[in-house]
Structures are given as structure tokens and as C-alpha cells.
Amino acid sequence: MGYEVPQQISVTQSQTQNVYTGAVSPAEKVDGVGVLQVPANSGGIILSSGEIVGLSIKALVKNSGDIYIGGTDDRPYSGYGYCLEPGESWSLDVQNLNKVALVSIISGDAVTWGAVK
């Protein structure tokens, strides 16, 4: 959901130190968050909709199985797509939430997600 922006501060006349504020750059904002139960249907489901620039998806730790991520033109299925094991996360640049499809090995497992606009 964005990278931390390093800011330089002068410690003494001869030293400079990078300080990470944890803040998202001013031009970006978190524009959507959610928790989604993912079925085991062939081809998966679409994450959501809306224009964005970045997305982070995390499989819940309490999930029983893996979740696969794919695109709408290259749908995921069991064993095919980017695999998220329980507790794992993935960040990607994507222009719209409706370009992301998810499928679960165990129907009802869930992901949490956040988008940057």
C-alpha cells in the first residue's frame, strides 16, 4: 500500500540520517479496504471494483487452505495463480480492482485487502 518515504534530517553539520515516517506520500490515499470470503468456485470471484494504483492482499491466518490470485483474463483455479498460504500477503500495481480474481482451496476462507488510489 505504498512505500515509506525517506526524509533527510541534519543531525550535525557532518551527518545526515534517513528517517522513515511510515507515511504514504501525499499524492496517495487508502481508497478501499475490506474482508472478502473466497469461494472454491472454478475461476474464482472478482475482488471488487474501482480505479486504483496499488493493492495489498493478505490471506487470513485462520484460513484452512491456500488462496490463488489471478487476473480476469487469466483466471485462477486450484494450483494455478499466485498462491497465498494462510497469513501471507502480496502487493501489486493494478489499475482497477475488477482486474483481480481470487479462488480458495477451502470455500469460505478469506482475505483482507487495501487499495491505494
pLDDT by residue (tens digit) across 46-56? Answer: 999 999 999 99
Query: 91-109 pLDDT, tens per residue?
Result: 999 999 999 999 999 999 9
- Which tops the pLDDT comparison, 23 or 83? 83
Lowest-pLDDT range, 3-12, 52-61, 68-77?
3-12
The domain 26-116 is placed in CATH, from the list 2.60.210.10, 2.60.120.10, 3.40.50.1820, 3.20.20.70, at 2.60.120.10
Query: 12-35 pLDDT, tens per residue?
Result: 444 444 444 444 444 356 667 889
- The mean pLDDT value for 62-77 works out to 93
**Strand pairing class (15-20; 6-12):** antiparallel
Give me the phi and psi of 54, to 5 degrees please: -155, 155
Mean pLDDT of the chain: 80
Query: Global pTM?
Result: 0.73
1 has a pLDDT exceeding 70: no
Grid coordinates of 105: 482451496
Query: Percentage of residues in the chain with pLDDT exceeding 70?
Result: 74
The string of DSSP codes covering 45-69 is EE----B-SEEEEEE-TT-SS-EEE
- The mean pLDDT value for 75-80 works out to 87
> Cβ contacts of residue 88 below 8 Å, gap of 6+?
58, 59
